[in-house]
Amino acid sequence: MMCTQKADLQHFDYHDLPDGNVQGNLQKIKQCSTEKQLLSLCSELGDWISDCGVPGIFTAKIKDIPTVFTQVVKHYIYFRTASVIQQFIEGMNTCGNLWHQVERNWIAFLPIFTSTSREMSLPSFKGLYKISWSPQGSNQREREEETMFGWEMFLIAIQEKATDVTFKDLLVFWTGMHSVPCLGFPGEPVIEFYEQEGPSRIPYASTCSLSLFLPRGVEEEEMNALLTRAIKESSGFGRV
């Protein structure tokens, strides 16, 4: 079993590690194939490799490089996080042995502990929010319905990739989140309306209340332009 694990780690794709610096260091170890390169590796990364639990790097030979690579990978995958993971498990089990329940029912808990989100579609996005309408038959309601027609066309344009805005961009602008939380939002996102006064005000959002504000009485073309501008010019704000 140990031999199989060692062989597997020798072919581990270091690009799977999230830290770019670690990726670069592992690449240098993996590509080390001559005595000159080994001397350079020890000079540049010897202390770092030693801190990863491989003090033998300073006396290593070329034939030992695959083992050094394996040990450094094992350090980052297993040993570096082992105590933290154990503390997490112990903490979970203080709540009625919750972690044992997770292990026994791991499929049910999979969406909570792993990223299982998929690219959003038009139906899934429309199922996220509600609309705060004015009373039926009022002048405001008629203008809100005009706005919502433009909104629907904008969503269809996103679905058909007829715009460079994505559902993810729209979700970030509206809620500050890149994806729908696994347990859902704390409240239902809502579309509110406002009156345009003076120079056109672009749509805006409150990520705290999960409210998106759209102007009443805006036609399809203008709605597309206003929403695109609002989303593009707010890039990076309020992201969680």
Read off the tokens for 126. 């429309």
pLDDT band at 160 (very low <50, low <70, confident <90, very high): very high
pLDDT at 161: 93
Torsion of CA 176, 177, 178, 180, to 10 degrees: -140
pLDDT one-digit tens code per residue, 12-45: 888 888 888 999 999 999 999 999 999 999 999 9
**This prediction's pTM:** 0.57
Region 69-74: mean pLDDT is 93
pLDDT band at 191 (very low <50, low <70, confident <90, very high): very high
Half-sphere exposure of 5 (CA within 13 A, CB side): 7
208 noted as active-site residue: yes
Domain boundaries, the chain: 2-113, 122-232
Tell me which CATH code domain 122-232 carries. Answer: 3.30.2410.10
pLDDT at 199: 67
Percent of the chain with pLDDT over 70: 92
pLDDT at 5: 44
Region 53-77: mean pLDDT is 93
pLDDT at 238: 44
pLDDT at 6: 46
Region 137-149: mean pLDDT is 95
Sheet with 211-215, strands from edge to edge, namely 130-131, 190-194, 211-215, 204-206
